[in-house]
Structures are given as C-alpha cells and as structure tokens.
Amino acid sequence: MSESADIIIIGGGAAGCSAAMQLSVRGRKVLVLERSLLGSGSTGRAAGLGAQLRESPEETSLLMKGIEVVKDIERKVKKEIFTRTGSLHVAADPERARELRDFVKMGKGIGFEIDLVDGDFARRRLPCMRADDLIEYCYCPTDGHFDPSELLSSYIELARARGATFITDTPVTKLLVEGGSIKGVGTPRGEHHAPIVINAAGPWSYLLAGLTSTSMATAAMGHAYLVTRPLPEVPIGTAEAALRDRKNRIYSRPEAGGMLVGTYEELPTEYDMEDLPEDFQMSQMSAPRDSLQIATLIDSASRRFPFIDERTPMTVTSGIMTFTPDGHALCGPVREVEGLYHCTGFNGRGVFQSTSVGILLADLVCDGIFGPGVEHLRADRFDDDPGLKCREDIKARCRERYSGHYSISREKD
C-alpha cells in the first residue's frame, strides 16, 4: 500500500493529534500513523494536570494560551474537557517560601492570576491537607485538570472533520530519506509518502530518530500515581483545589470522590524502549503495591495527606514519560534531514502542552517560523552539546532532570 499526504505524523497521542488538528485547519492533507490504538501510550496514562505556573514567563505564557485553545475546542465539540478547580502551591521552609514569592512576582508580571494566600484560605480549599508545618501558600484560581481522553477525542474529531486520516495498529519501521530529505515512511503494511514527517512517538521517538542515524536527547522514565477510593470519613469534593508540594515531591488533585497523588521520586525507573517486546502495551503496565516505587509514592503522599497509607483502598496507574536534559520539549525541524520534525519530550506534561504545541508545529510547518517565546523548545538545541553524544550520557542527564523535577525553581508538573 502506498498513499500520499502533505504531512505524516507518527504517533496518535495528544501532541500528534493536536498537530493533526491544527495542520488540517490550515488546509494540509494529514495522515496519522499509530503503532497501537490512538491514545494508548503516555496520553492514556496521564493524570491530566492543568497547572499553568512554570519556572519561566515563556513556559507559563505558553500554557495560559493553551487554556484558551481548550475553551475554543470545548465550544466547537460541546464537551467539558477542562475542570477548573484552582491550585495551591505550598512551602514548609523559608527557601521554598521565597520560591513561592518569586513565582507570584513572575506570574503577576505577565498577567497570570496568582496570589499569596493565608492558611485559613488554603485549608478551606483543601480540607484534607495536613497544614501544621506550612508557612507560605500561593493560589492559582484558573488552574484545574483535563480529561485526557476527551481532549484527545476532540482533537481527532476536529481533525477528521477537516480531512485528516488516522491509521492504527501500524508501527513505522523505516524513514524514507533521499538526498538528505524525507520522502515518507515504511510500515509492515507498506509505504506512505509525504515531504514532511513529524515524529510525535513519545518514548519511542528516539528510536525513530535513530532510523536516520541521528540521535535524540530523550529518555523514557517510569512514573506512577495513585487514586484513593472515596472514604466516608474523608469527603473530597470535585471542586477542591489541586496541590503542588515540591518539598515532598508530590502533586495532587481531586478525582471521583478520592484523591489523585503522584510523585517524582529521586530514583526513577528507566526504560530502554528497544528492549520491550514488539507487542508491548502501556495500558497493561502495572506496579505492585509492594514495589519500592509505590512504597515511595505512598510515603510521600502520606506526609501531606495523613489519611493515605499502605492500607488505604486505592488504584495505581503507571506509565512511561519522555524526559529531556533541560525539562523542555523538542519541537521543530531536524538539521540533518530536511522535512523531518520532532514533537516529543514533554517531561510529563504532554497532555497540557499539546494544547499550544499543535499551533507551534502548524506555524513552523506552514510558515517556517517559531512564534514568540518558544525558542527554548527548538528540537536541535542539543545537537552541539559534547556531553550528549551517546545514549548513556543522555539517559544520565534525563534521569537527573526527572529526580530534580521539584528542585528549587523547577516547577515542571
């Protein structure tokens, strides 16, 4: 089988489908190829967090724009995708308190709605939170969380309405390159041809880059979060605030009468995607309750939510994130292969960033320009880094970034 398109996108997760929607709106004929089912990778395991506050004005502004994109999508598809709950950021020591004040100053400087609040306000917004050790709080009222499946299905619906084609159960096994330019892709079902190919394959992306003998500075990191079952003695409302407690390395949000809590542990689980079986499905991943990863998660959660311990009824979701050495995504053209673009490495926030990244890719592909404030996402920014020339060095830097996710002045999740 050989089909032609203007643009081929490899990967049917949130980022790839957002790009498909935006490029289709621009009138491009788009073909999306997915190795399994749409949304069956990292997107399908996402916690759906919607925190806009980041360590830089550029990153925060990008996500503020993403909220507006989602509002527009909600109007078009007539679905609720984003639930606004607000979010609290808390500090238990002077250094973290200074960090919060710096974030508030930065946020206000770009028009982001954020304020320092007192303990009484914080406890009203999140009654089940332990707060006796906290000394500073800030609150972001426009934050909330996404329904990842609804966001993904909306991208797909709007892309299909503009003529995009989606083919599942079709892994890409070859990138067709002639004279230094991309010509299409090869799959077990045949070739597909296009002058532009976007690599949005999540943790598998670095393997696709390797098909052109180029390297990619990403690594696959395991991640897990828990969701407690509703407890009569600990009522949790759906409108209660989300939380970031960087000292204890946790994030949380309400979920179906319980509490969703995740952590960025100091010793992450790493994956070499080439070592996984060909029929590997992220949706079938599980983490035993007695594993070190889950024990660490429960211990971290219990420090801020005392009702959580190893006996608490809960479900655990585990998946694989794609990390980069500096915590920023890779979005843009590849130097060595004309027409090849990367759209990957979202460091655990791909669902949220997909809202604005689709527009970024459309601007790049259709107009050849980076929009303002997104130069830090260039896909070629690591090409000249002598410390990132082999996989082991790349993995070490990405591992360091994951474990330092909530280090001072690194608000990532």
Same domain for 237 and 125? yes
Same domain for 366 and 311? no
236 phi-psi bin (left φ>0, alpha ψ -120 to 50, beta other) = beta
> In CATH, what number is assigned to the domain containing residue 90?
3.30.9.10
Q: Mean of the pLDDT values across residues 322-336?
A: 96
- Burial of residue 172 (CB within 10 Å: 0-12, 13-18, 19+) is buried
pLDDT-derived band at 248 (thresholds 50, 70, 90) equals very high
Same domain for 128 and 165? no
d(CA 55, CA 187): 40
pLDDT-derived band at 294 (thresholds 50, 70, 90) equals very high
Pair 14, 350: CB distance under 8 Å:
yes
Sheet holding 144-146, edge to edge: 49-50, 144-146, 82-84
In this predicted structure, which of 227-231, 290-294, 323-327 has the lowest mean pLDDT? 290-294
Q: Mean of the pLDDT values across residues 229-238?
A: 95
Query: How many CB atoms neighbour CB 153 within 10 A?
Result: 17
Same domain for 241 and 137? yes
* C-alpha gyration radius of the chain: 21
Q: What percent of the chain has pLDDT over 90?
A: 91
Query: In Å, what is the CA distance from 47 to each residue of 127, 145, 317, 405?
Result: 21, 8, 9, 16
Q: 239: which DSSP letter?
A: T
Q: Mean of the pLDDT values across residues 325-329?
A: 96
Same domain for 236 and 116? yes
Query: In Å, what is the CA distance from 231 to each residue of 227, 242, 257, 280, 300?
Result: 12, 18, 8, 35, 20
Range of the domain at 159: 2-46+148-218+325-394
Is 55 inside any structural domain? no
Is 119 inside any structural domain? yes
Is 248 inside any structural domain? yes
In this predicted structure, which of 77-91, 332-346, 376-390 has the lowest mean pLDDT? 376-390
Per residue in 138-195, pLDDT (tens digit) is 999 999 999 999 999 999 999 999 999 999 999 999 999 999 999 999 999 999 999 9
Same domain for 158 and 37? yes
Pair 299, 262: CB distance under 8 Å:
no
Query: How many CB atoms neighbour CB 338 within 10 A?
Result: 14
Copy the structure tokens of residue 24. 């289709």
Q: Mean of the pLDDT values across residues 356-377?
A: 91
pLDDT-derived band at 324 (thresholds 50, 70, 90) equals very high
End-to-end CA distance of the chain: 42
Q: Which residues pair with 115 in a beta bridge?
A: 139
Pair 318, 286: CB distance under 8 Å:
yes
Q: What percent of the chain has pLDDT over 70?
A: 98
Same domain for 120 and 244? yes
Q: What is the mean pLDDT of the chain?
A: 95
> In CATH, what number is assigned to the domain containing residue 178?
3.50.50.60
Q: What is the pLDDT of residue 287?
A: 82
Q: Mean of the pLDDT values across residues 367-384?
A: 90
Q: Mean of the pLDDT values across residues 60-65?
A: 96
Is 57 inside any structural domain? no
Helix (H, G, I), strand (E, B) or coil at 208: helix
Sign of the C-alpha dihedral computed for residues 281, 283, 288 and 294 taken in this order: positive
Q: Which amino acid, residue 60?
A: T
Is the pLDDT reported for residue 373 higher than 90? no
Q: What is the pLDDT of residue 412?
A: 43
Nearest-10 crossing angle of helices 350-367, 57-77: 90
Q: What is the pLDDT of residue 410?
A: 47
What's the number of domains the chain is made of?
2
pTM exceeding the 0.75 threshold for the entire prediction? yes
Is 350 inside any structural domain? yes
Domain end position, chosen among 266, 300, 323 = 323
Q: What is the pLDDT of residue 389?
A: 87
Is the pLDDT reported for residue 3 higher than 70? no
Same domain for 243 and 211? no
Per residue in 100-120, pLDDT (tens digit) is 999 999 999 999 999 999 999
